């Protein structure tokens, strides 16, 4: 049973997240087939269009997951109802419609015509990898992010303040702030790439790690019964290492784009240190589960939580380390190692943490108690 009725607003976010995740996987499979069968679904869905849909859906569905997680866990952490459930529902529909129209635009309208149609000439922001969204869609994303921060921020400020809710809120603010660099589109290609990484790297190797850490800590408190103080100390250590290595580690993307050569050293050293927070996360998860004071009935959620830590360490940590040093990256850049790292890191760190919180929260949101029936959990595992 829900502790606070306003937590129910998380349910449509989680349903939308799973739905969009399935569509993203379908487009990934289409691209995989296009590698093998060159003209598969051509000219209806060219490879470049399928790739835009695939990568953009990744961002959109994970944001739905993060928002649903925030709306579910913050009332419990703050010990009060959400500041405005109506705002949360309104933002859900704004985001869903914006996302759906953007994807339909990619599929039905040639990209150049889409840019013209959506007024890209007034504020040119389109045409860059992962940031292909029309300017008007980017403005919609900013409105949704600001509304989320207002709602979560007011809830946190007026209730109990915990390490988990403050870390989560910090991550959400960072998410909104760094997305603003998607509006900066200089003509100089070096400048463009330099600040493009301020969205892409500082999201996934910086502030998103705070969101990941907060969600993982929340779930582990619930399923293990380990003292909050112990889990919070681990969380502090993990996010400190994530920020120290992640922010300066941006330099491992600056090796060969025309930036000063000191980025070779900074990028290599701090990039090589980036696996540390993920290794700590693995130790953290297994340590907490081994010290658990209760056997939680939702064993599927426990498995997802452990899987998040392991796969994040392998994908982001080990695979990232393999090609983060400048002398190695010189030979591996743009190879399949990059693609394997990107896919496994995203899946381990962010896909699995969203599935963790959905696995934990959905039985409660659906009135099934603390866990789905044993048979359903077996299927999920």
Q: Say yes or no: 133 and 241 in one domain.
A: no
Q: Say yes or no: 155 and 281 in one domain.
A: no
Q: What is the pLDDT of residues 285-343, one digit of tens each?
A: 999 999 998 899 999 999 999 999 999 999 999 999 999 999 999 999 989 999 999 99
Where is the domain boundary, 161, 180, 199?
161
Q: Say yes or no: 155 and 246 in one domain.
A: no
Q: Say yes or no: 357 and 260 in one domain.
A: yes
Where is the domain boundary, 138, 161, 184?
161
Q: Is residue 207 part of a domain?
A: no
Q: What is the pLDDT of residues 356-380, one digit of tens each?
A: 999 999 999 999 999 999 999 999 9
Q: Is residue 63 part of a domain?
A: yes
Q: The tokens of 13 are what?
A: 């976010």
Whole-number Å distance between alpha carbons of 196 and 183: 10
Q: Is residue 130 part of a domain?
A: yes
Whole-number Å distance between alpha carbons of 146 and 317: 31
Q: Say yes or no: 358 and 229 in one domain.
A: yes
Is there a cis peptide before residue 43, judged by omega within 30 degrees of 0?
Answer: yes
Mean pLDDT of the chain: 96
Q: What is the pLDDT of residues 155-208, one digit of tens each?
A: 999 999 999 999 999 999 999 999 999 999 999 999 999 999 999 999 999 999
Query: Is 1 a residue whose pLDDT tops 90?
Result: no
pLDDT value of residue 20:
98
DSSP string for 226-264: --HHHHHHHHHHHHHHHHHHHHHGGGGG-TTTT--THHH
Gyration radius of the chain's alpha carbons: 21
Answering whether pTM is above 0.85, one says: yes
Q: Say yes or no: 156 and 218 in one domain.
A: no
Q: Say yes or no: 232 and 365 in one domain.
A: yes
Q: Which domain holds residue 264?
A: 213-381
Q: Say yes or no: 10 and 91 in one domain.
A: yes
Q: Is residue 113 part of a domain?
A: yes
Q: Say yes or no: 132 and 279 in one domain.
A: no
Count structural domains, the chain. 2
Q: Say yes or no: 245 and 348 in one domain.
A: yes
356, 306 in Cβ contact below 8 A?
Answer: no
Q: Is residue 169 part of a domain?
A: no
Q: What's the DSSP call for residue 180? A: G
Where is the domain boundary, 161, 176, 205?
161
pLDDT value of residue 294:
86
Q: Say yes or no: 220 and 91 in one domain.
A: no
CATH number of the domain bearing residue 285:
1.20.210.10
Q: Is residue 167 part of a domain?
A: no
Give the dihedral of Cα atoms 158, 146, 15, 1; nearest 10 deg.
0
pLDDT value of residue 235:
96
Q: Say yes or no: 25 and 140 in one domain.
A: yes
Q: Please report how many Cα atoms fall inside a 13 Å half-sphere around the Cα of residue 258, on the Cβ side.
A: 8
DSSP string for 107-175: HHS-HHHHHHHTTTTTS---SSTT--S-HHHHHHHHHHHHHHHHHHHHHHHTS---HHHHHHHHHHHHH
Query: Is 91 a residue whose pLDDT tops 90?
Result: yes
């Amino acid at each position: 049973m829900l502790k606070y009725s306003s937590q129910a607003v998380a349910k449509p976010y989680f349903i939308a997240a799973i739905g969009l995740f399935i569509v993203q996987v379908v487009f990934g499979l289409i691209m995989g087939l296009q590698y093998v069968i060159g003209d598969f679904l051509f000219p209806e869905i060219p490879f470049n269009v399928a790739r835009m849909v695939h990568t953009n859906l990744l961002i959109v569905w994970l944001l739905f997951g993060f928002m649903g997680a925030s709306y579910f866990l913050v009332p419990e952490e703050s010990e009060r109802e959400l500041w405005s459930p109506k705002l949360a529902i309104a933002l859900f529909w704004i985001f869903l419609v914006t996302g759906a129209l953007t994807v339909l635009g990619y599929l039905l309208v040639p990209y150049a015509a889409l840019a013209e149609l959506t007024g890209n000439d007034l504020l040119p922001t389109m045409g860059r990898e992962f940031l292909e969204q029309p300017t008007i869609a980017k403005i919609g994303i900013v409105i949704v992010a600001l509304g989320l921060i207002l709602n979560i921020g007011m809830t946190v400020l007026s209730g109990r303040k915990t390490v988990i809710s403050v870390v989560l809120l910090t991550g959400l603010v960072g998410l909104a702030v760094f997305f603003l660099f998607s509006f900066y589109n200089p003509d100089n290609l070096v400048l463009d790439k330099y600040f493009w990484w301020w969205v892409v790297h500082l999201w996934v190797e910086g502030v998103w790690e705070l969101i990941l850490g907060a969600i993982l800590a929340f779930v582990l408190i619930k399923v293990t019964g380990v003292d909050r103080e112990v889990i919070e100390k681990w969380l502090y250590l993990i996010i400190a290492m994530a920020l120290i290595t992640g922010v300066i580690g941006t330099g491992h993307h600056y090796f060969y784009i025309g930036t000063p050569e000191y980025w070779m050293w900074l990028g290599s050293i701090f990039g090589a240190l980036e696996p540390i927070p993920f290794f700590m996360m693995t130790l953290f998860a297994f340590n907490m589960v081994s010290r658990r004071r209760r056997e939680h009935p939702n064993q599927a959620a426990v498995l997802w939580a452990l899987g998040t830590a392991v796969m994040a360490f392998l994908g982001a940590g080990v695979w990232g380390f393999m090609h983060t040093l400048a002398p190695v990256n010189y030979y591996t850049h743009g190879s399949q190692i990059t693609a394997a790292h990107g896919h496994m890191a995203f899946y381990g760190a962010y896909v699995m943490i969203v599935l963790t919180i959905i696995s934990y929260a959905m039985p409660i949101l659906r009135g099934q108690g603390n866990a789905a029936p044993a048979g359903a959990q077996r299927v999920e595992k």
